[in-house]
Every structure is written in structure tokens, then in C-alpha cells.
Amino acid sequence: MKSLAKRFAADESGATAIEYGLVAAMMGIAVVTIFTAFKGKLSTAFDTMGTALQTQAANIK
């Protein structure tokens, strides 16, 4: 039973998956934080691009 406990404590096979999960979660939090902080500026930028695309599309017809 002691050797089973030692093997279990020394097993690191799931550590990489947990680390990747933590990194992905941190990146997700960072993206949400950045988008929230720049919400107004992003909205303005996409509105401007949308208007420009509509203008160009109207000129093609």
C-alpha cells in the first residue's frame, strides 16, 4: 500500500493538462478584461468599418 501511495504522489502525468487549463483560463480572463476596458473604442471602430464597407458596396452596384 505504501508503494501505491508513493507512485500516486510521484505521478505527474495530469500536471501538464492542468497547467494548460490554467493558462487557457487566464488568457480568457485577460481577453474579457481587455474587451470590457475598450468596449466603447471597439464599438466605434467596428461601426466605422461597417459604414465604410457599406459605402464601398454601394459604389460597386
Closest by Cα among 59, 29, 14 to 51 = 59
- pLDDT of 16 reads 80
- pLDDT of 3 reads 84
Read off the pTM.
Answer: 0.53
CA angle 53, 43, 37 (to 5 degrees): 150
- pLDDT of 32 reads 96
Closest by Cα among 57, 35, 33 to 46 = 35
**How does pLDDT run across 11-36, given as a tens digit for each residue?**
766 778 888 999 999 999 999 999 99
**How does pLDDT run across 31-58, given as a tens digit for each residue?**
999 999 999 999 999 999 999 999 999 9
